[in-house]
Amino acid sequence: MPFVPLRVLLDYAREKQFGIAAFNVNNMEQIQAICEAAQEIMAPIIIQASKGARKYTNDIFLKHLMLAAAELYPDIPMVLHQDHGSSPEVCLSAIRNGFTSVMMDGSLEEDGKTPSSFEYNVAVTRFVVDVAHSVGVSVEGELGTIGSIEKMAAGELEDAHGAVGKLTIEQLLTDPAQAVEFVRRTGVDALAVAIGTSHGAYKFTSPPTKDVLVIDRILEIHKLIPECHLVMHGSSSVPQDLLQLINKHGGSLRPAWGVPVGEIQRAIKAGVRKINVDTDLRLAMTAAIRTEFHEHPDRFDPRGYLGLGRDSMKRVCRERMEQFGQTGHAKHIPHVTCEEMAKRYLSGFYGENAKPSPVLARASAKNSH
């Protein structure tokens, strides 16, 4: 089965009322960790790569690593997702390289730093939807600016992607009425909403309260657009034991708090289906590698310390998948190819707004696959 469009997984998750962790990758060990964890509990997976990750790994390497994963784990449905595409061209290049889902982040302009206008966001996202849906690829959009309400700023940049300067509360919280219009005009399959989460480890300066992590906003939006799958970005929980382990073995991380798992579970009940997790995986790998370097300074075989990092990351991946409710669902995911999805989109199966523009779709499809 392995590769499926994102919407196939999220539709099933909505039916069964669970969430799906979307894990970021940069190398082979990370892909192995995710797949091995999924195999142990028979969970479907979303593997995602940012523009920076694609540059680091190289698209050809990444493509063949994912093909290897599909061959080795044939019973695990997989989505390969472009995270934070900063322009239509980034999304189109992902489609050409076999991604089954793309995120057009039009909440920022193409520089990845300047908050955009609502009309700009609609225009670039709609263009990507027309192209992607014509070849059966799912699309995630973003409305509002991912960032910290505590700091009134974007927080840590992710691969140099993130708003620069101070932000307003209106930018940091997705407006429910705008969300309705955005989904109606763009036809996206999933929508990332701003609720006070941010990228990186330093999300909150203390355990977050409802004033800085506004889960209730998800419920408001979901009631208005129940057909659109909601996404939480910046949703690592920043385990305190991993911070302590890193600092014990030579690190100097500042005190930090992430999004509590209990709040994520509440968000899943409120309508969230995709939960982005990256920092927790980095912390897990770093903690294991630092420990090995500190306790065994005479060792230098990369297979040793990278293997330990992979095992540590696998434990966190499995834990999150279990906590979000993914266990045992792999064998029940419908096998729908991108070709079949393209026919569904064109027929209006997912609504008139999700149908690709016929003229643009035909022209773009020739250049995408």
pLDDT band at 162 (very low <50, low <70, confident <90, very high): confident
Q: Residue 274: what residue type?
A: K
Name the average pLDDT for the chain.
95
pLDDT at res. 154: 81
Residue 366 within a domain: no
Provide the angle, in degrees to the nearest 10, between the axes of the packed helices 302-324 and 261-270.
50
pLDDT of 264 > 80? The answer is yes
- Residue appearing with tokens 């979000």: 324
Which two structure tokens, joined as six digits, stand for 67?
């093909």
Residue 50 within a domain: yes
pLDDT at res. 226: 96
pLDDT at res. 361: 57
Sign of CA dihedral 194, 115, 131, 346: positive
Which two structure tokens, joined as six digits, stand for 33?
């960790």
Residue 53 within a domain: yes
Residue 359 within a domain: no
CATH of the domain at 44: 3.20.20.70
Catalytically active residues are 83
Residues 6+ apart with CB under 8 A from 111: 86
Q: Are strands 101-104 and 272-277 parallel, antiparallel or unpaired?
A: unpaired
Mean pLDDT, residues 267-296 taken together: 98
Sign of CA dihedral 345, 346, 348, 351: positive
- Residue appearing with tokens 């800085």: 212
Residue 358 within a domain: no
Q: Identify the domain containing residue 65 by its residue range.
A: 6-352
Residues 181-214 pLDDT 10s: 999 999 999 999 999 999 999 999 999 999 999 9
DSSP-derived secondary structure letter, 17: T
Q: Decide if 204 contacts 150 (C-beta within 8 A).
A: yes
Mean pLDDT, residues 336-345 taken together: 97
Which two structure tokens, joined as six digits, stand for 54?
């694609």
The strand ranges marked E within 248-345 are: 272-277
Q: What percent of the chain has pLDDT over 70?
A: 96
Residue 113 within a domain: yes
Q: Decide if 228 contacts 189 (C-beta within 8 A).
A: yes
> Rounded to an integer, what distance in angstroms lies between the CA atom of residue 363 and that of residue 343?
16
pLDDT band at 5 (very low <50, low <70, confident <90, very high): very high
pLDDT band at 156 (very low <50, low <70, confident <90, very high): confident
The CA-based dihedral angle spanning residues 17, 22, 28, 30, taken in that order and rounded to the nearest 10 degrees: -90
pLDDT at res. 164: 82
- Residue appearing with tokens 């763009």: 186
Q: How many residues does the chain have?
A: 369
Total domains present in the chain? 1
> Rounded to an integer, what distance in angstroms lies between the CA atom of residue 45 and that of residue 154?
28
pTM equals 0.95
Q: Residue 319: what residue type?
A: E
Q: Decide if 317 contacts 25 (C-beta within 8 A).
A: no
pLDDT at res. 365: 52
Instruction: Residue 231: name the closest of 4, 10, 44 by CA.
Output: 10
pLDDT at res. 153: 87
Residue 289 within a domain: yes
- Residue appearing with tokens 């036809």: 187
pLDDT at res. 125: 98
Compute the radius of gyration of the chain from its Cα atoms: 19
Nearest 5°: CA angle at 209, between 204 and 211? 95
Residues 21-65 pLDDT 10s: 999 999 999 999 999 999 999 999 999 999 999 999 999 999 999
- Main-chain phi, psi angles of 2, to 5 degrees: -30, -65
Mean pLDDT, residues 279-301 taken together: 98
Residue 44 within a domain: yes
pLDDT at res. 256: 96
Mapping DSSP to helix (H, G, I), strand (E, B) and coil, where does residue 135 land?
A: coil
Buried b (16+ CB within 10 A) or exposed e, 203-212: bbeeebeeeb
> Rounded to an integer, what distance in angstroms lies between the CA atom of residue 105 and that of residue 223?
23
pLDDT of 368 > 60? The answer is no
Q: Decide if 5 contacts 79 (C-beta within 8 A).
A: yes
Q: Residue 15: what residue type?
A: E
Residues 58-113 pLDDT 10s: 999 999 999 999 999 999 999 999 999 999 999 999 999 999 999 999 999 999 99
pLDDT of 280 > 80? The answer is yes
